[in-house]
Amino acid sequence: MNRFILIAGSLLAGLGVALGAFGAHGLRNVLGPAELGWWNTAVQYQMWHATGLLALGAWRLPNAGLAAVLLVLGTLIFSGSLYVMALSGWRVLGMITPIGGTLMIAGWLLLAWRGLCG
């Protein structure tokens, strides 16, 4: 499972750098301020969670698999919905974004619980 966590964190981080650069250079004259804000929020949360996954994978905490899966899924849903919303203007996707946020919160809380319970 640690290998999955490290791979997921690495892929999310690499993609986050690429999407951040794309937003800064390719979209700054295309999207409006609100859409660029959504894009930047997506990149920021993606990178923070990628970094957390890399630390979690390196730490090798036992029983962290479910927490890692929740963090990955949450990041994909949260950031992914914001990316698509920024590019498409489909504001209805804003209803999906909190699901990703909730999964990320659940992942961190589960990780804290696993840490407390040893």
pLDDT digits (tens, 9 = 90+) for 69-106: 999 999 999 999 999 999 998 999 889 999 999 999 99
What are the backbone angles phi and psi of residue 96, rounded to the nearest 5°?
A: -85, -30
What type of residue sits at position 101?
A: G
Q: How far apart are CA 60 and CA 56, in angstroms?
A: 6
**pTM of the shown model:** 0.93
Contact, 92 vs 81, CB < 8 A?
no
| Residue of 89 and 61 predicted with greater confidence | 89
Q: How far apart are CA 38 and CA 73, in angstroms?
A: 19
pLDDT classification of 60: cutoffs 50, 70, 90: confident
Q: What is the mean pLDDT of residues 26-48?
A: 96
